[in-house]
Amino acid sequence: MTDNEKINPPISIQTLKRLPLYLGYLKSLDKDEIKIISSPIIAKALNLNEVQVRKDLASIKSGGRPKTGYLLEKLIISLEEYLGYGNMNEAVLVGVGCLGCSLLKYNGFENYGMKILVGFDVDESVIGTEINGKRIFPISKLKDLCQRLHINIGIITVTGESAQEVCDLLLEAGIQAIWNFTSIQLNVPDGIIVQNENIASSLAVLSKHLKKKSKVRK
Amino acid sequence: MTDNEKINPPISIQTLKRLPLYLGYLKSLDKDEIKIISSPIIAKALNLNEVQVRKDLASIKSGGRPKTGYLLEKLIISLEEYLGYGNMNEAVLVGVGCLGCSLLKYNGFENYGMKILVGFDVDESVIGTEINGKRIFPISKLKDLCQRLHINIGIITVTGESAQEVCDLLLEAGIQAIWNFTSIQLNVPDGIIVQNENIASSLAVLSKHLKKKSKVRK
DNA sequence: TAGATTGTTAATCGATTAACAATC
DNA sequence: TAGATTGTTAATCGATTAACAATC
């Protein structure tokens, strides 16, 4: 453990995932009307336990005050700072199919500190075109371009069959984090993070729940 | 606890989410070549603990045999059965924007036991059109149509501002499960499941990881 | 029989929740 | 001061991992 970690223990991944929820809720409030907000109110709005909210917020230096609560504006700034929404991470996307295309078109990522610069594909018919201002390059240019642009994040929206291949290519190009939209489990070396966006897992939870309900009804 | 639960304890949500991963991996294997598969092999392929794999597979009746392992074909069938990939859940999608459109175009859901029947929107220019064979209706038809078709799942791909409104409408129409692609936390009564597909949370994990790495490198 | 693997019981680990002191 | 709220320490809960008996 480094000295830094002794003083600022790393927050849990669960807490980290909740921080954007807090931020989203706080930003939805009317800043002119509400100056101060408390953990019980946040907890109620987001269906969370109020102790959990306090603990989460305490883990970033949120400056809450006993009796008073948290200063709304200050809390928003703390969260944005912690989540790094100020300094943009740059990404490339590989696989400009149906899903890839809609991610390229989506402009909301920039609110979360990520910007997709370019796309890659093998399909001649999309290479050279622009989608939402983002140029599509042949996959042969991937390594060179990523290295030159110092890209950190690779988004994989190809089919399952080519996912690992694309992943390896991205790693060769020096990418540090992968956002995986395929249902394949990617093999990466230690230190590289893979975030899986797994539709099948979500659907499994949904449909199991439905099945249970229909059984109860019978 | 019901008698049924005493005999077949409900599996944990974590296990449930991993089942599609097992299935995907097993299906990717060559059935002609591989007849039998063991937990250490599955675990290695998916970067999981082998005890976890065994426990997960034991929770559905997978019929593994000591010394031998699991019969590949039988295991696939057990998983598909448990996940209910045989009987289709029917869904509607509300919000035919950029993301909604690409979900309508995506045909992979049917492999996971879900079928989107129709879409809804307020935008006159999309109402009446078809996307991938799915008709788009005005939102005023939502309640009637969902009730008549006995729809179970509602997919919300509208903007955050109208998300709760749409959610309430879906609940009125008798929907039992909601797949929420907005970053809003939806309020639903007990017994309704909401599965959040939260891009902001995923990005928070990715970018925190990158920040830590760049610090270490300094 | 010996070796390999499953399935289960016990131990460990981590996250959530409860209790409570500190504080404005 | 009394009441409300934060932040932290302790207790609980649930999931993962380890140990091991059962078995082919």
Q: Is the CB of A12 under 7 A from strand C?
A: yes
Q: What is the pLDDT of residue A53?
A: 98
Q: Identify from B151, B183, B190 which residue to disrupt to test chain A contact, counting A C-beta atoms within 10 A and taking the largest count.
A: B183
Query: Which residue places its CA closest to the C1' of nucleotide C14?
Result: A12
How distant is C1' of D17 from CA of A78, in Å?
Answer: 37
Q: What is the pLDDT of residue A9?
A: 67
Same domain membership, residue B100 and residue B65: no
Q: What is the pLDDT of residue B178?
A: 97
Minimum distance, in Å, between the CA of residue A68 and any CA atom of chain B: 25
Q: What is the pLDDT of residues A115-130, one digit of tens each?
A: 999 999 999 999 999 9
Please give the single-letter amino acid code of residue A21.
L
> Quick one: pLDDT band at residue B8, thresholds 50, 70, 90?
low
Mean model confidence pLDDT for chain A: 92
More confident residue, A176 or A9: A176
Q: Tell me the nt nearest to A55, Cα to C1'.
A: D7
Q: Is the pLDDT of residue B33 over 50?
A: yes
Residue contact B198–A98, C-beta within 8 A: no
Task: Note whether residue A120 is domain-resident.
Answer: yes
Percent of chain A with pLDDT over 90: 81
The mean pLDDT value for A181-204 works out to 92
Q: Where are the beta strands (DSSP E) in A88-214?
A: 89-94, 114-121, 130-131, 134-138, 153-156, 177-180, 193-196
Residue contact A21–B105, C-beta within 8 A: no
Q: What is the pLDDT of residue A5?
A: 45
Q: What is the pLDDT of residue B126?
A: 97
Q: What is the pLDDT of residues A153-190, one digit of tens each?
A: 999 999 999 999 999 999 999 999 999 999 899 999 88
Task: Note whether residue B209 is domain-resident.
Answer: no
Same domain membership, residue A106 and residue A71: no
Q: Report how far apart the first and last C-alpha atoms of chain A are (Å, whole number).
A: 55
Q: Tell me the nt nearest to A58, Cα to C1'.
A: D7
Q: What is the pLDDT of residue B63?
A: 85
Q: Count how many domains chain A has.
A: 2
Q: Residue B25 has which token pair? A: 């991996």
> Quick one: pLDDT band at residue B211, thresholds 50, 70, 90?
confident
3-state secondary structure chain B: CCHHHHHCCCCCHHHHHHHHHHHHHHHHCCCCCCCEECHHHHHHHHCCCHHHHHHHHHHCCCCCECCCEEEHHHHHHHHHHHHCCCCCEEEEEECCCHHHHHHHHCCHHHHHCEEEEEEEECCCCCCCCEECCEEEEEHHHHHHHHHHHCCCEEEECCCHHHHHHHHHHHHHCCCCEEEECCCCCCCCCCCCEEEECCHHHHHHHHHHHHHHHHHHHC
- In this complex, which of B16, B199, B207 lies closest to A89 when CB atoms are compared? B207
The mean pLDDT value for A194-203 works out to 93
Range of the domain at A172: 89-201
Same domain membership, residue A122 and residue A39: no
| Domain C-terminal end among B33, B62, B83 | B83
Same domain membership, residue B41 and residue B100: no
Q: Tell me the nt nearest to B12, Cα to C1'.
A: D15
